[in-house]
A and B are shown apart, each in its own frame.
Chain A
Amino acid sequence: MTYPALGRRNFLRRLSGGAAAPALGYLWAAENGAASFLKPGGGTHFPARVKSVIFLFMCGGVSAMDTFDPKDNKHAGRMLETVNSNNGRPQLRPVLHCARVWTRYGQSGIPVCEWYPHVGGVIDEIAVLRSMYCHEVGHFPAVGEMTTAHRNRTFEYPAIGSWISYALGSANRDLPTFVNMGRPSAPPQISGGYLGAQESATPFMAGEAPLENLKLPPGVTRAERDRHVETLHQLNRQFHEDHAFDREVAARIRSYELAGRLQLAAPELVDFSREPEHVRKLYGIGGAETDDFGRQLLLARRLAERGVRFIQLCHGGIGNGKWDSHDDVADHAPLCRQTDQPIAGLIRDLKQRGMLDSTMVVWATEFGRTPYSQNTVGRDHNPHGFTCWIAGGGVKGGMVYGATDDIGYKAVENRRYVTDLQATILEQMGLDYKKMNVQVNGRPLHMIEESQGPIDAILA
């Protein structure tokens, strides 16, 4: 074939030329002459280390230098060129003085800010990735980049949870494979995209009914509904028999069954009454600020126990995301308080149940925040260097990987693109990131097109 060859040269040219081309190890086009394609529910490529991923997405962009990547204030006041120019003209902004107080925690002695003391308490389970970067500066595209591995929207790219759901299929026939809790800050976070709506995240809530439409309409009792459904099935019989061999009708019959099983499984799933008091406390359930997120995380653990593969929690997904502290970085403080104890509680709970090794907890955000002031005492978006972390799931705890520069502006050591984080998750789920390809209407489409691959240095 002539064209792949031409394309390869072109890709290599792009790879070698220009500052904009990232120096990445893997480009699917360069290596996969003929891509192999995933089969739905085809299973793992190699033995999986991890059964479930709990993906905590802090919407809006968390400041690394105010949480897990301390910088001294010797550069405070220095003028820096900003990420965004003013119509092509460079702009300068002063580096903000950072008022955080740092404590070294655990045997590893990794410093954590005063807003995250509980997470500090479990730091020995955590691999802190201080050298993440992405390309996009806006929330919407950057959230897409972090969740779909694509920065543009040439196609309707699926979220990573959808890919995992598609590749591995369900491990629990009563529950969906990919669940989301909390409002996402951008639709791609929960969209099955070109893999189809059946791979989209099922939205769960930590309340009496985990799914919005599981709740019966007002005035309808469960017993009444059961009787209605019985008659409904009788009325459906002829059509279902006539069309049992039509794929879409067959799927309809199956989806009635799954809907029924979901309704049966739900009450037990969301019934926290049998969780001991000390466990509920661990998650901060009952706390004024921690109750919401704590309930979601306890439900996340219960979903992981029941084999749900990808459980995503969007924290602060309103507007551009609550973590978007342009005006005052101290706006992070209440958000940290809402998440700190529940996250630490989750990690401790997983650990004491022996689930931490097979459950990966990922703490991520779309980008970091600038060391300089944008306006007043807030920080702007910073794609050049930011922090994510992973606990459990076979990563080495109590370690720091990569580094940003002295000011906290750019990742300089072990720079890792967001697809490397995704590749790490896939690797531990038993999936080869180079094989995450499908054919849609004959067109080969790839989950990951540019990546250095899994971050091996953090894997135990």
Chain B
Amino acid sequence: MLKRVLALALTPLVLQAGQPLWSLKPVVRPDAAGIDELAARMHKAKGLAVAGAASKTTLLRRVYLDLIGLPPAPADVDAFLADTSPGAYEKVVDRLLASQQHGVRYARHWLDVLGYADVDNGMVDEAGIHHWRDWVITALNRDRPYDQFVRAHIAGDLSPQTEDFFATAFLSRSASGAEDKAEGIGFGAVENVSSAFLAITTACAKCHDHMYDPISQRDYYAMKALFDPLAPDKRLLASADQIMAFPDVMAKWNADQQAIQARMDVISQPYYKALTEDRLRYLPPDVAALFRKPEAERTEAEKKTVKDYDTVVSLDARKYRDVMTPLEIEKYEGIRKGLTELRRDPPALPAFWSVRVSADRVGRKSYLYQGGERSRKGDEVTPGFPFAPADLKFDGASDRRQVFLGWLTAPENPLFARVAVNRIWQWHFGEGLAASPSDFGNSGQPPSNAELLDWLASEFAARKYSMKALHKLILMSELYQRGSVATPALRAANAQIDPDNRYLWKFPVRRLEAEAIRDSVLAAAGTLDDAVGGRSFRAEDILERRVMSAARTGHYDTRVNRRAIYMGRGADGSMNMMPAYLATFDAEEGHTPCARRQRTVTAPQVLFMMNNPLTHEASRKLGERLQAAPTPAAQVALGYQLTLGRNPSPAERDHALSFLASGGALDRFAWMLLNLSEFVFLP
């Protein structure tokens, strides 16, 4: 039935756009044995020469950084070099895919696509959003099939697996910044669901029909109607004891505040009359006269006037400071500081913002908003979505989202698997086969190897959407295991045809992400705490900024040596909450989904790595580790193993030894290792 529905739905679009849009055509499985055969066909057709296999050490460091985001330890390198069996590499791949750190690494990729932030404009940071992050880590580690992964994000509140409601932060996180929170969920859902799981861009259809793709404004609001019944839902995560005790905790907090306020009032009261008189200057004389009149003598009309103008006359704490004696100010401020501190960390029960179907929204009609503005209500719309079949029926469905999910995850939906495999390909090779991973529309880019993309999509479906199976399929290909160095002969052969290596005639070397660089630094220093899950921590530079949100220390982990996925990020109101480390290396703040990280390489990055305190401290620690080796030559070798997962070349060893021999300290040598280009690149 669905097949027919899709065919009906897609045909007119294909015609409308003038030429068939590649991404909407059915997935056709090419007749081929796998990745390498399809890649070889492409190389042959283009006349490209290909690189040979990477060295074992290069491959090991590559697969470690790629799969778990950490460099291999010297013992891992030794074991891999010693294992000369044909299955040595596969064993490593299996071990890394089974590691808890694999979920940590790939969760960060997905959280970019899904728009995770610890704080966002108007988003409260005590709401337990980190449980969503941890849910993603766990889901990846358990290899939850991709269709379930998607279902949990769109309708986790309905899932038979209780923990899946944590995935609905994907929807609820759009609520908090919006004027009308429930409406915010709808708008966010349309844009984030369509970009993450369909790779179609809908944001422009909020205000007008899409300029490039067959998506009308009506489609946008029809899709929003799927989510219109939802409202944000704060779920308590507290224990019974915590809940029972909470009224007392609140009462104490309030009493503490009142006690402080009373001490302040003792100092400020004498100034009240003088200041009020000062304020009356700002009022028209007739109104000021009313304020001076005793309250009992005012007429009803006069009372109203006084009330209207009361806002001008009311006094705030800062005003007192202008008139008090310095001694009083000091005393007053001393007391007031306590109040500020107390209010900074209000008691709260642990909770999580999910979504729920709201009884008073479920029966409501949905409307198109002209120009995207709620005040300009247009036609009524019925639930639907872009590319929906014409005879779409919601009758009998327990929830509108289920109907949408049925269509979205159907094997006949050509976008569903294509979008996912293209993302996973991108995370392994740096670029997707289609280079615009969240835009498979007319303004996106068609895939460089459409047959390969389709083969992977059909294989993904055949393997029941196991992401780990897909990873392994890609990692075991020869394509993935090729060297990344272009020899002069290779370059000469390919320079005219594919200078940018779009067709992967060698493995593409690329700069590591912010998180992987920082985690590698701490790993080399031996100070990385790789505990999985829990609250985010504030990077030290954020704590130093002393912005309001950062001061709520109760909500943050104090262990700052954890992996960078746990480094709190976002933009809270006007406050930049992005740690310098993340911002310098292109991590985005998560306000909008990020389909592909920028990979800029800049001078401030070089200076940052050279001089920031973290590198300085890590160099010291790494230097200490190197001291354990018995001879200078062994120290140099250990340094290379800890940072680059290989031994130094003879030339490198000689340069390093002559540096040490001329009085160079080990922590300075360690500093060099952390500042090597190779250290920040995936080889």
Contact = CB atoms under 8 A, between A and B. Distances in A.
- A, B assembled together: yes
Given A186-B576, A231-B659, A255-B603, A29 B211 contact: yes
A231 B655 contact: yes
A96 B284 CA distance: 9
Interface string A172-206: 00001000000011110000000011100010000
A97 B283 contact: yes
Nearest to A1: B18
A198 B652 CA distance: 31
A254 B287 CA distance: 69
B312 A376 contact: yes
A156 B656 contact: no
B668 interface: yes
Nearest to B316: A327
B485 A441 contact: no
A243 B485 contact: yes
Interface in A16-41: 17-18, 20-21, 29
A77 B443 contact: no
B427 to A, nearest CB: 16
Given A232-B675, A321-B574, A374-B311, A262 B603 contact: yes
B279 interface: yes
Contact of A20 (B376, B442, B652): B376
B681 A249 contact: yes
Nearest to B545: A183
Is chain B's binding surface mostly helix, strand, loop or mixed? Answer: loop
A441 B595 contact: yes
Contacts of A196: 586, 598, 600
B370 interface: yes
Contacts of B576: 184, 186-187
Contacts of A143: 574
A236 B547 CA distance: 40
A11 B603 CA distance: 42
B167 to A, nearest CB: 24
B439 interface: yes
Interface stretch (B85-93, B554-562, B611-619): B611-619
A328 B611 contact: no
A375 interface: yes
A399 interface: no
Contact of A153 (B575, B592, B668): B592
- Chain A interface size range: 35 or more
A288 interface: no
Interface stretch (A125-133, A212-220, A403-411, A423-431): A212-220
Contacts of B589: 187
Interface in B190-236: 191, 201, 203-204, 207-214, 217
A197 B586 contact: yes
A7 B313 CA distance: 53
B547 A235 contact: no
B159 interface: no
Contacts of B680: 252
Contacts of B603: 176, 255-256, 258-259, 262
Contacts, number: 247
A236 B677 contact: yes
B421 interface: no
Contact of A14 (B371, B508, B574): B371
A184 to B, nearest CB: 7
Contacts of B591: 153, 156
B644 to A, nearest CB: 9
Contacts of B444: 441-443
B371 A18 contact: yes
B672 A231 contact: yes
A243 B578 CA distance: 32
Given A97-B281, A154-B592, A231-B664, A262 B607 contact: yes
A193 to B, nearest CB: 9
A460 interface: no
Contacts of B592: 153-156
A10 interface: yes
A140 B574 contact: yes
A109 interface: no
A223 interface: no
Contact of B574 (A186, A234, A236, A377): A186
A18 B376 CA distance: 8
12 contacts: A2-B16, A2-B18, A3-B213, A185-B574, A187-B571, A187-B589, A213-B608, A232-B672, A235-B656, A245-B491, A251-B600, A252-B680
Given A263-B607, A373-B282, 5 more contacts: A29-B211, A198-B600, A234-B655, A246-B486, A248-B510
Interface of A: 1-4, 6-7, 10-11, 14, 17-18, 20-21, 29, 76-77, 79, 92-94, 96-97, 139-140, 143, 153-156, 176, 184-187, 196-198, 202, 211, 213-218, 224, 227-228, 231-232, 234-240, 242-243, 245-249, 251-256, 258-259, 262-263, 319-321, 327-328, 373-377, 441-444
Q: 4 closest Cβ contacts across the A-B interface?
A: A77-B284, A441-B436, A251-B601, A258-B603
